[in-house]
Amino acid sequence: MLLSRLFVPITKDLPSDAKIKSHQLMLRSGMIRQSSAGIYSWLPLGFKIMKKIEQIVREEQNNIGAQEMLMPTIQSAEIWKESGRYKDYGDEMLRIKDRQGREMLYGPTNEELITEIFRSSVKSYKSLPQLLYHIQWKFRDEMRPRFGVMRCREFFMKDAYSFDLDEYSAKTSYNKMFFAYLKTFERLSLKAIPMAADTGPIGGDLSHEFIILADTGESKIYADKKIFEINLKKFEFSKSSLEDMRKEFSSFYAVTDEKFVKKDFDKKVSKANQIITTGIEVGHIFYFGDKYSKPLNCMIDSKEGKKTSIKMGSYGIGVSRLVGAIIEAKYLNNVMKWPKSISPYDVVIIPNISKNNIENLNKAEKVYNDLKKQNVDALLDDVDENMSAKFKKHDLLGIPYQIIIGSKSSGDKFEFKEVGEESQILKLNEIKDKLKK
């Protein structure tokens, strides 16, 4: 992509409510634009990053055998009345009526709808277990939307649902998701810590939040720093190993403030290992048994021919929220460095073309075309401005690698830099090898 053709409206002017770095950087770099309070348009740069996160989330869901589907954003109020949550959910639910006066709502979550789909489709234990997920827009009418995409009203989310015959099988599904979430955040270069958490309006008796450490996080956390040392690679994808994994993570004290008890913290964690800080929730998983299947009469025939209520779990990841969370975890001053797995481009080519330096632009175009043939997703900065302004702009955009074509370049050798590191003079083939790796 040529930078001159990329729709990336960089700005210095920020609204007064842009208090945290991710909100400021996303607005400044032209990733998003506010449509109304807590509702944003995703512009090409931000949308591309979000779609890469979505794909990683999708791949890890598929890896544990979950099946993708798509449910609508607008739901009937009737199934929410059946479950008893239509009134209980509160003012965050956007309630509407269609032209026939039927009560509808913009889905804040999908437990009722997925249960209704399942109960009308599955009647026998032979079809279990099932793991179903979708990635869809949600709406929750936050009283005070703030922090950009971190706490907004309309957001893009992956939610999954498990259906099992009994509690033992349901806990196995829970452990699979626990594992998939850790793998997902690992691929996003995030160290996410699973923490025992309150179940909130979803309900149930088993719940973990996945929290990344960040000074701007809204969740206060208390943890044993040894939990950071657990190596996920030692666990296999089997029932016993996944159970061991969850037990090992759960053996270390790690809770949000809803579950915090000071005397337990001081008793279980030595002063040297205590971490008291803030973090950002990037995922939440719940096991709630038959909380929804019973009131919605979601029953199947067991092996013995008896009707039994399905045991369910619910698992969410805020895909759009992760864009902001990653910025909060990774930025340094005003320099952003996207994890390589989700960077909008693999590399940016920055030629010094001020004063109509056609030779450098020709070199840059040759390198650009060569990289395209190697399936390297490159951005070519073909805009005529001074190099100082270019570097500030690309520090803001956060593409992890730069090829700089200027006074240090000669023949087949170019200046190559990983953002935050010292630059090197390398041959183009050496640069291509580095990018491939």
Domain residue spans of the chain: 21-330, 347-436
Round the average pLDDT of the chain to a whole number and report it: 92
What average pLDDT does this structure show over 21-43? 95
Nearest Cα neighbor of 423 from 413, 411, 437 is 413
Token representation of residue 328: 């909060």
Bond preceding residue 129 cis, omega within 30 of 0: yes
Residue 203 has pLDDT above 60, yes or no: no
Q: What is the pTM of this model?
A: 0.93
Comparison of pLDDT for 106 and 206, the residue scoring more: 106
Q: Residue 201 and residue 283: Cα distance in Å, rounded?
A: 16
Residue 264 has pLDDT above 60, yes or no: yes
Residue 302's pLDDT is what?
Answer: 86
Q: What would the pLDDT profile of 405-422 be if each residue is shown by its tens digit?
A: 988 888 889 999 998 889
Contact in structure between 107 and 71 (CB atoms under 8 Å): yes
CA distances (Å), 210 to each of 62, 254, 317, in order? Answer: 20, 10, 9
Domain 347-436 has what CATH class? Answer: alpha beta
Residue 198's pLDDT is what?
Answer: 64
Where residue 200 falls among pLDDT bands split at 50, 70, 90?
Answer: low
Where residue 291 falls among pLDDT bands split at 50, 70, 90?
Answer: confident
Where residue 292 falls among pLDDT bands split at 50, 70, 90?
Answer: confident
Q: How many residues in the chain?
A: 437
Domain 21-330 has what CATH class? Answer: alpha beta
3-state SS record for 203-246: CCCEEEEEEEECCCCCEEEEEEHHHHHCCHHHCCCCHHHHHHHH
Q: Residue 72 and residue 116: Cα distance in Å, rounded?
A: 13
Specify the range with the lowest mean pLDDT, choosing from 74-83, 206-215, 365-374.
206-215
Comparison of pLDDT for 335 and 109, the residue scoring more: 109
Comparison of pLDDT for 423 and 204, the residue scoring more: 423
Residue 16's pLDDT is what?
Answer: 82
Residue 39 has pLDDT above 80, yes or no: yes
Residue 205's pLDDT is what?
Answer: 62
Q: Residue 367 and residue 179: Cα distance in Å, rounded?
A: 41
The secondary structure of residue 166, as a DSSP letter, is S
Nearest Cα neighbor of 180 from 247, 108, 245 is 245
The secondary structure of residue 410, as a DSSP letter, is B
Q: Residue 203 and residue 312: Cα distance in Å, rounded?
A: 11
Specify the range with the lowest mean pLDDT, choosing from 140-154, 194-208, 343-357.
194-208
